[in-house]
Structure formats: structure tokens, C-alpha cells
Structure 1
Amino acid sequence: MEIPVTGFIVHSEGPDSSHSHKLYITSWDGRPTTHTHHFSGNTSFDVGHNHHYAGMTEPAPSGVQHVHNYRTETSFNDGHTHTIIGTTGPAIPLQSGGHYHYFQGYTTINGRTPHRHMYNGTTGNEVN
């Protein structure tokens, strides 16, 4: 019996010149097995300005405890942008079904006066 499976492999370099591969199965027998979340917000106000950001988390398995990685660029304000990279906290169930995640961190350092911004928030509900 053949079952159609789709997915992708991610190659990553380790800090000691080692590398690994992660296999993400995105559908099994035509049914999605992963999901993502929208996220957006505003950074803290530092050095006279703040930035807006928005993005989509990386896929993660559905139906089990999990976290999501995320990465996005901030809006262009005061002549520069920042990068936001992180990992959400664990899934928090919603009474209406589905779940969301809390996230927080600091942007990369950039700007005429080098600085960073703090950010935090919650993702939206899961998207299949």
C-alpha cells in the first residue's frame, strides 16, 4: 500500500562545523500535519522611534506539544531596520479551539546610534 507523503528537509550548520537535517512532513495521505501562526506587533520605543513587524512562524507539528521558530524584518524607521529571530513558547489552548503562542526577545543591533529594541506578543490562532 502506498501513502502519499509531502514535506521538506532543512539543513543547518552547527557551531562546531557539524551539520544536521530536520525532516518536516507537511501532509500524510493528503491531510496537513503541520501548521503555522501569524504574528505582528510594535517594538519598544528606543532612541526616539519604534518599529512595526509582522510575519509567519515556521511550520510545526499539529496535535502535539510544540514551539515555532520565527524570523522577520522590522519596518524601515529612522533610516534602518532590525531583524527579529526567535522561538515561541509552548502552545496555549484557546477555549474556542486551537491555540496560540507567547513570544519575546530583542531585535538585532542597528541604526546611526547602534541600538536594539525589545518586542513581545502572542501569535494568532493556528493556520493549516
Structure 2
Amino acid sequence: MEIPVTGFIVNHDDAGPNHSHILYITSWDGRPTHVHEFSGDTSVEVGHFHHYAGKTEPAPSGVQHCHDFCTITSVNSGHKHTIKGKTGPAIPLSGGGHVHYFEGFTTVDGSIPHVHFYCGTTGRGIDTR
């Protein structure tokens, strides 16, 4: 049985002929291996705020990385906004795993055109294998 796997190899040790490599897997059987959930509330602007939730795009585990993300906010005051950006680098957690900080501004929308600020920290990474 063959299982399609994607990833990349990094030279781990250049100390002579017995050097080694590390394989970082980015997908297993067509499924991404490492994503994070994120959610929160935007700032209050023009008398309302929006909730948002989503999952980041996949990234390799075991190396320093960032994730792209994109989601649509809840509908409040008759409109919604798009949230899109890139997280900061991985922030290690004392018990293992890591999270990412993210922040930005929504798209301009609403009968009174405006944006909302958002920021937060992703959840721990989710191994989707």
C-alpha cells in the first residue's frame, strides 16, 4: 500500500560522512499535517463588533514557521468583514507544542464604511494525520 507524503529534508549534522537529515512532513495521504484553530472578537467600531473563527493554512512541524489564515466574520449590523493575514512565528509552550500570535484589520465594509482591529493567539497545533 502506498501513501502519498509531501515534505522536505534538512541536513541536520555536517560532522563527517555519518551526517544525518531530518524529514519534515507537510502532508500525509493528501491531508495537511499541521494547522491551528483561531477565534476571537474584533474591536468595537460604529457601535458593534464581530466574532470570527477558523483554521490556519498548513505549515511544516518541527521548524520555525508561520501560517496564512483567512476567514469571514459573523454578520452584525447587516454586514460582515474578511480577516486575512499571516501569523507570527511559533511561540513554544512549556508543556510542549506551540501557538502563534496574529493581528490585523478587517476589510472595509458596512453602511458606514469602517474596519475593525483584531488580534489573538492561535490554539495549539492540530496534527491532522
TM-score using structure 1 length: 0.78
Output aligned runs, 1:45-56, within 5 Å: 45-56=44-55
Partner of 1:98 in structure 2? 97
Output aligned runs, 1:32-43, within 5 Å: 34-43=33-42
Structure 1 segments unaligned to the other structure (5+ residues)? 8-23
Letter in 2 for 1:112: S
Per the alignment, in what secondary structure is the counterpart of residue 113 of structure 1? Answer: coil
TM-score using structure 2 length: 0.78
> Could you list the per-position Cα deviations for residues 74-110 of structure 1 after superposition, in whole angstroms to 9, with x for gaps in the alignment?
0000000000000000000000100000000000000
Larger radius of gyration: 2
Per the alignment, in what secondary structure is the counterpart of residue 36 of structure 1? Answer: strand
Partner of 1:26 in structure 2? 27
Per the alignment, in what secondary structure is the counterpart of residue 46 of structure 1? Answer: coil
Offset at 1:25? 4.0
Offset at 1:33? 7.2
Per the alignment, in what secondary structure is the counterpart of residue 52 of structure 2? Answer: strand
Q: Distance in 2 between matches of 1:33 and 1:64?
A: 15
Q: Distance in 2 between matches of 1:104 and 1:68?
A: 12
Aligned length: 108
Letter in 2 for 1:26: S
Letter in 1 for 2:86: T
**Contact 1:33 1:62 (C-alpha < 8 Å) held by counterparts:** no
Offset at 1:51? 0.2
**Contact 2:99 2:122 (C-alpha < 8 Å) held by counterparts:** yes
Structure 2 segments unaligned to the other structure (5+ residues)? 7-24
Output aligned runs, 1:102-121, within 5 Å: 102-121=101-120
Q: Give RMSD over aligned pairs.
A: 2.0
Letter in 2 for 1:115: H
- Give runs of ≥4 in structure 1 deviating > 3 Å: none
> Could you list the per-position Cα deviations for residues 43-87 of structure 1 after superposition, in whole angstroms to 9, with x for gaps in the alignment?
000001000000000000011000000000000000000000000
